[in-house]
Chain A
Amino acid sequence: MKTMKLIYPLAMALAVTLAGAGCKHQPTKMTNLPASPAAPVGEIQPTPTFPGGNPLPPPEPTPNFTAISQPIVPGGLTTSTNWDPANMVEDRLALAIDTVHFAFDSAVVKDAEQAHVKAVADALTSDPNVKLMIEGNCDERGTEEYNRSLGERRALALREALAKLNIDPQRVRTISYGKDKPADPGHTEEAFSKNRRGDFVLYHPKPGA
């Protein structure tokens, strides 16, 4: 079942690409290559199929999808959400390996961390029912309320990075702990670098809900 879930969006993407290519290029190819042997470009009516040949079910609209019409800039997304963590089941382990780390006093998501962001986006894409909490954290080298704002900006920067991968921001909440929740209680550079982070926590629907 899990394999199916992963393949489904891939197949859909392929199908949509083919359909788009067909419509777009049909008149051009008909005009420019009148004598070419029956390249049935215009006749393809692609029916999405699984690799085994069975037809795909009709696509379902993604729940609560918010169209993103403008480029996402820092601070460009409201924190509006459509779910309450109190009504869902917390899963801290699912994305524990995808914690993103930040440079000192920075809320910029580094290129080297994009693989983690992508993995989180994939988890949200493969299961439309799950929601995400991003926890922003800081090292102790900053004042308390300064760090509370910095932690929030880090969490929001990750939320913006996910939105660029077409994750509906309404599925994603942020919380800043400032420096109140260090991953490593030490006072070394090594501990500090572990503490400047965004943790991803998945939320599943309550059974039967």
Chain B
Amino acid sequence: MNKCFLNPLTTCLAAALMLATAQADPSDLVVSKLLPVPGNTKPILVSLSGFSGEGLDVLKFDLYVQGFGFTTPEAAQYQISGSDAGNVTGTLTDRVSGKPLFARSYSGTGLRRQAHYFANDIVLAVMQTPGIGLTKIAFKRELAPGHGEIYVSDFDGHDPAALTHDDTIVAAPCWVPGRMAMYYTSYYPGNPDIFYHSLSTGQRSIVARYSGLNTAPAASPDGTRLAMVLSRSGSPNIWVANADGSDPKKLTSNTEDSSPCWSPKGQWICFATKVRERRVLAKVPAGGGEMQVIPTSGHPSPSEPDWSPDGKWIAFTQQTLSGFDLCVVPADGGNAVVLVPGEDPSWSPNSRTLVFTRRTRGYNYALSVLDVMTKQVKDIQRTSGNDSQPAWAR
């Protein structure tokens, strides 16, 4: 029960279930019912005092998109106090026990980073998971139709930098897990080809340039293999190759596959496809084998799956007559939960938050982050142009 109380991912509903089943035959216990319910969890209430300006903005943003809500010191479960005058100093206090959980001061690296560090320390103390404050994302920035570049920025959109200078259509950036390297699609060679780009050396090379479509690169969790969409055999299909593109093998024989992603241990590749003209999610063993449909409980036209790093969920985009929504479904399929309007979700390294594309009222594309458990959403920093296809470094 102690863990249940501390872990904000676990809902009150789950606690009630545990009590209700305590008297029953223990074999009736279904562990999966104790999983947190996405979109249905109450935020953890905290109070913030003593901060102002940029430090306060960073703290509020980081905490809000990781499941915290803000209230008065009297109503808060945790009180956060300190200062961001010059450097960030801060104390986290559990209001119930009145006991300070930690008190720290930060120096160097600039105020924003200090505040991100402090937010990470709060997330770790309260949730026992690493925070996302210092993580990076990559995305496609279209400055004018047909003129885009791959960009890299902090997860909140600050400090953006262009990775490419191709001045053409670019697409589908994907990080190599744990490395300063990325794959993406660029039409720079006159054809949509897949590039590998080292961020540490600045060197890049083409890893797939077959006639037709080469796109949607996805690095395996250990970085040794590359899943992608190639049309070289006559239809856009899922292929897997070595990290440098050598030894490509075709995994599927459908007429129209898209958006491969890996299971966290690298056994499966999940993707969107069509079965008898209906769009479905499916998975195929990464070494080849039978394709299996992943049921999404009637949520129409799924695409753009992304498997959470903890292995539990697959986030995807559903398309209805009114537009696009982000959904999550247990990784084995089942009851999908609709979260918020949006497209192309990418999981944070701690499997808590999604970065995604949102269509604005002006028919532009902007990036937002969503705390999956509470459905709390914030737009990230944006500039002119269209930002889409975000990929979270993990």
Residues in chain A within 8 A of chain B (CB atoms): 74-81, 85-86, 107, 141-146, 148-150, 152-153, 156, 173-178, 180-182, 185, 187
Q: Using A143-B344, A145-B258, A148-B213 as known contacts, say yes or no to A76 and B231 having CB atoms under 8 A apart.
A: no
Q: Using A79-B210, A173-B211, A180-B145 as known contacts, say yes or no to A144 and B344 having CB atoms under 8 A apart.
A: yes
* Set A143, A156, A177: member contacting B343, Cβ < 8 A: A143
Which of chain B's residues have a CB closer than 8 A to the CB of A146? 258-259, 272, 279, 303-304
Chain A CB within 8 A of B26 CB? no
Which of chain A's residues have a CB closer than 8 A to the CB of B52? none
Q: In the bound complex, do residue A156 and residue B212 qualify as a contact, i.e. CB atoms below 8 Å apart?
A: yes
Q: In the bound complex, do residue B388 and residue A144 qualify as a contact, i.e. CB atoms below 8 Å apart?
A: yes
Bound complex: CA A150 to CA B256 (Å): 7
Q: Using A145-B216, A153-B256 as known contacts, say yes or no to A86 and B319 having CB atoms under 8 A apart.
A: no
Residues in chain B within 8 A of chain A (CB atoms): 142, 145-146, 169, 171-172, 190-192, 210-213, 215-216, 229, 231-236, 253, 255-259, 272, 279, 303-304, 317, 319, 324, 343-344, 357, 363, 388-389
Q: In the bound complex, do residue A78 and residue B169 qualify as a contact, i.e. CB atoms below 8 Å apart?
A: no
Q: How far is the CB of A139 from chain B (nearest CB, A)?
A: 12
Bound complex: CA A146 to CA B77 (Å): 44
Bound complex: CA A145 to CA B304 (Å): 8
Q: How far is the CB of A95 from chain B (nearest CB, A)?
A: 19
Q: In the bound complex, do residue A78 and residue B236 qualify as a contact, i.e. CB atoms below 8 Å apart?
A: no
Known A143-B317, A143-B343, A145-B172; further 7 A-B contacts with Cβ < 8 A: A74-B255, A143-B324, A148-B258, A149-B215, A156-B231, A175-B191, A176-B192
Bound complex: CA A144 to CA B389 (Å): 8
Q: Which 10 A-B pairs have the closest CB atoms?
A: A75-B235, A79-B212, A149-B236, A79-B211, A149-B258, A152-B213, A146-B303, A75-B234, A145-B259, A143-B303
Bound complex: CA A180 to CA B324 (Å): 18
Q: How far is the CB of B294 from chain A (nearest CB, A)?
A: 16
Task: Count how many pairs of residues, one from A and one from B, have CB atoms less than 8 Å apart in the complex.
Answer: 116
A sample of 14 inter-chain contacts (CB < 8 A) reads A77-B234, A78-B234, A143-B303, A143-B304, A144-B343, A145-B303, A148-B215, A148-B236, A149-B215, A153-B256, A173-B211, A174-B213, A176-B231, A181-B145
Q: In the bound complex, do residue B192 and residue A148 qualify as a contact, i.e. CB atoms below 8 Å apart?
A: yes
Q: Using A143-B343, A152-B236 as known contacts, say yes or no to A176 and B213 having CB atoms under 8 A apart.
A: yes
Q: Using A141-B319, A143-B324 as known contacts, say yes or no to A185 and B145 having CB atoms under 8 A apart.
A: yes
Q: How far is the CB of A138 from chain B (nearest CB, A)?
A: 12
Q: In the bound complex, do residue A75 and residue B145 qualify as a contact, i.e. CB atoms below 8 Å apart?
A: no
Bound complex: CA A145 to CA B344 (Å): 9
Q: In the bound complex, do residue B216 and residue A148 qualify as a contact, i.e. CB atoms below 8 Å apart?
A: yes
Bound complex: CA A187 to CA B362 (Å): 11
Which of chain B's residues have a CB closer than 8 A to the CB of A77? 234
Which of chain A's residues have a CB closer than 8 A to the CB of B145? 180-182, 185
Bound complex: CA A174 to CA B190 (Å): 11
Q: In the bound complex, do residue A180 and residue B169 qualify as a contact, i.e. CB atoms below 8 Å apart?
A: yes
Bound complex: CA A185 to CA B142 (Å): 15
* Set A76, A175, A180: member contacting B234, Cβ < 8 A: A76
Q: In the bound complex, do residue A75 and residue B343 qualify as a contact, i.e. CB atoms below 8 Å apart?
A: no
Q: In the bound complex, do residue A145 and residue B211 qualify as a contact, i.e. CB atoms below 8 Å apart?
A: no
Q: How far is the CB of B25 from chain A (nearest CB, A)?
A: 46
Which of chain B's residues have a CB closer than 8 A to the CB of A145? 171-172, 215-216, 229, 258-259, 303-304, 344, 389
Among A176, A177, A181, A187, residue most surrounded by chain B Cβ atoms (within 10 Å)? A176
Q: How far is the CB of B146 from chain A (nearest CB, A)?
A: 6
Which of chain A's residues have a CB closer than 8 A to the CB of B344? 143-145
Which of chain A's residues have a CB closer than 8 A to the CB of B234? 75-79, 156
Which of chain B's residues have a CB closer than 8 A to the CB of A86? 190
CB closest residue in chain A, given B210: A79
Q: How far is the CB of A83 from chain B (nearest CB, A)?
A: 10
Q: In the bound complex, do residue B235 and residue A143 qualify as a contact, i.e. CB atoms below 8 Å apart?
A: no
Q: Using A75-B233, A143-B344, A145-B259 as known contacts, say yes or no to A187 and B212 having CB atoms under 8 A apart.
A: no
CB closest residue in chain A, given B185: A148
Which of chain B's residues have a CB closer than 8 A to the CB of A182? 145
Bound complex: CA A173 to CA B211 (Å): 7
* Set B172, B210, B236, B343: member contacting A153, Cβ < 8 A: B236
Q: How far is the CB of B287 from chain A (nearest CB, A)?
A: 23
Which of chain A's residues have a CB closer than 8 A to the CB of B231? 79, 152, 156, 174, 176
Bound complex: CA A122 to CA B149 (Å): 39
Q: How far is the CB of A142 from chain B (nearest CB, A)?
A: 7
Q: How far is the CB of A194 from chain B (nearest CB, A)?
A: 15
CB closest residue in chain A, given B216: A145
Q: In the bound complex, do residue B190 and residue A85 qualify as a contact, i.e. CB atoms below 8 Å apart?
A: yes
CB closest residue in chain B, given A83: B211
